[in-house]
A and B are shown apart, each in its own frame.
Chain A
């Protein structure tokens, strides 16, 4: 079993980190939480580890967010906003461009309902429709519908945002 988990770790670690990053917006935190997820997987030996791992990740991220709010550390979340964070020190204008793009996509993602966001991010993390269905409580058939809507809205929001930007700068 440990072999299975190790293999899962190798194949999905990056996706888990990314999934978490999109919730906590802090690369270090995301890595730490991802580690924690796999530590727990070792403790619990779940039946369907792949889906399990993302469910746990979502829970941890949610707890994290709640704890932060409770302790009135709202600023931490804002500080983690990609628009403000240079992740590597490249050339100055490259930084700005990357972060702007990130911020724009983040804004577009925020335009979705939490349910649509969740389904979209789970799919992007590599989960199958049945896995997404169980995780979110949707019927399998509804996953397709939700993804269809989520994708459209993401693109639309992003395009509107970009258009707005151009209007402002022109």
Chain B
């Protein structure tokens, strides 16, 4: 006769077992004195634990009324909006310099084989996007020069095909942009500085390890949201991202994305941020999740153009990096996992994405409306 293992008895006592499991256990216990005694001793153990832990409590106090919490929430919201507005102004000056720097790579001739790709990938003309936050201050100090005028004209001539999409001067850019831009007439968007993993003569040489699309792994099963836990990311983590981001609740994120936001199964979600996409309809979404260790992992999902732009951003200091990154393509959408983890851990996480069927390299190569296949950059094994 098999006796009931200890952990099962604990689960039973804790009422964590199914009805049928309980019935099984109870009928066994009725017949088995050993297990009866075991159950009793485990029940006693559990009670003892509870009473010991009860000693570890602060002096009981009456909970403040819920209104206090609501008031605090209201105050925090006002504060946050104000801070974001202030930061946007400071940051737009930075971007003027940043954009110029970022587009240097564009002027370098791409490798032959990827030439078609890089042209096809070029989206609309560059648009200035206000950045968010404190790092901006540092960058502004470091690079106060306005974007050189020549860059503008060169850009236009280098990408005649792309300039067609001139219509894309989309979203409202705050008045600060025109103020800081000075010489800028056009609204522009930073073009991904690197495509296809090559690292030509860019001003700052960086080892780029290209990772081909992860082929052939099984599509992640669409999972229900088991836990949507949101806390605050590690300090400063909020500020890594370019552009204006709204933090949204899980419900809002779902309705904005039209489906569940891409994320890794099984990890608590710490924050969801959303940014309107300039190119396509669906917004750019970043889901931050937290590991046991405390590290924050981000899953970024959006159109290829938007996500590439985000990744191409150069942080002001090493601290504000996106960490290591790995990515995969799904048609015209791109999924990126970033975090301060070894690259292969990040790659493994792709297998745990809830993001629906992931196309293999072959699928993407098949003729579709989306641009021709391209290898995406990442990961980097060095902080930006």
Contact = CB atoms under 8 A, between A and B. Distances in A.
B180 to A, nearest CB: 31
A66 B6 CA distance: 36
Nearest to B69: A38
Interface stretch (B54-62, B131-139, B147-155, B163-171): B54-62
Contact of A108 (B52, B63, B64, B252): B52
Given A38-B69, A44-B250, A105-B52, A52 B228 contact: yes
B230 A52 contact: yes
Contact of B72 (A39, A87, A131): A39
Given A44-B250, A47-B225, A144-B11, A59 B232 contact: yes
B249 A155 contact: no
Interface string A118-152: 00110110001111001111001101110110011
Interface string A58-100: 1110110011000000000000001000011000000000100
B290 A59 contact: yes
B229 A52 contact: yes
B230 A40 contact: yes
B229 A51 contact: yes
Most buried by B among A46, A105, A108, A141: A46
Contacts of A123: 14
Most buried by A among B16, B226, B234: B16
A130 B234 CA distance: 26
Interface residues of A, number: 72
Contact of A51 (B7, B57, B61, B227): B227
Given A35-B69, A120-B53, A134-B268, A144 B14 contact: yes
B10 A21 contact: no
B292 A137 contact: yes
A66 B9 CA distance: 37
B69 A31 contact: no
B56 A45 contact: no
B338 to A, nearest CB: 19
A56 B151 CA distance: 47
B179 interface: no
Contacts of A66: 294
Most buried by B among A5, A102, A106, A124: A124
Contact of B48 (A10, A56, A143, A155): A155
A2 B79 CA distance: 21
Contact of A151 (B10, B226, B227, B234): B10
Contacts of B235: 63, 67
B8 interface: yes
Nearest to A38: B69
Contacts of A158: 52
Contact of A55 (B52, B231, B294): B231
B266 interface: yes
B68 interface: yes
B232 to A, nearest CB: 6
Interface string A23-51: 00001001100011011101111111001
Contact of B58 (A17, A55, A101, A141): A17
B49 A120 contact: yes
Nearest to A36: B72
A56 B66 contact: no
A62 B295 CA distance: 11
A165 interface: no
Contact of B250 (A22, A45, A58, A128): A45
A40 B232 contact: yes
Contacts of B72: 35-36, 39
Interface of A: 2, 5-6, 9-10, 13-14, 17-18, 21-22, 27, 30-31, 35-36, 38-40, 42-48, 51-52, 55-56, 58-60, 62-63, 66-67, 82, 87-88, 98, 101-102, 105-106, 108-109, 115, 120-121, 123-124, 128-131, 134-137, 140-141, 143-145, 147-148, 151-152, 154-155, 158
The list of the 7 closest CB pairs from A to B, nearest first, reads A55-B229, A59-B231, A27-B58, A144-B11, A56-B231, A45-B249, A129-B16
Given A144-B10, A148-B42, 10 more contacts: A9-B69, A14-B60, A27-B59, A43-B76, A55-B268, A124-B49, A137-B267, A144-B8, A144-B16, A155-B49
10 contacts: A21-B56, A40-B232, A48-B225, A48-B228, A56-B230, A124-B53, A137-B266, A137-B292, A144-B16, A151-B49
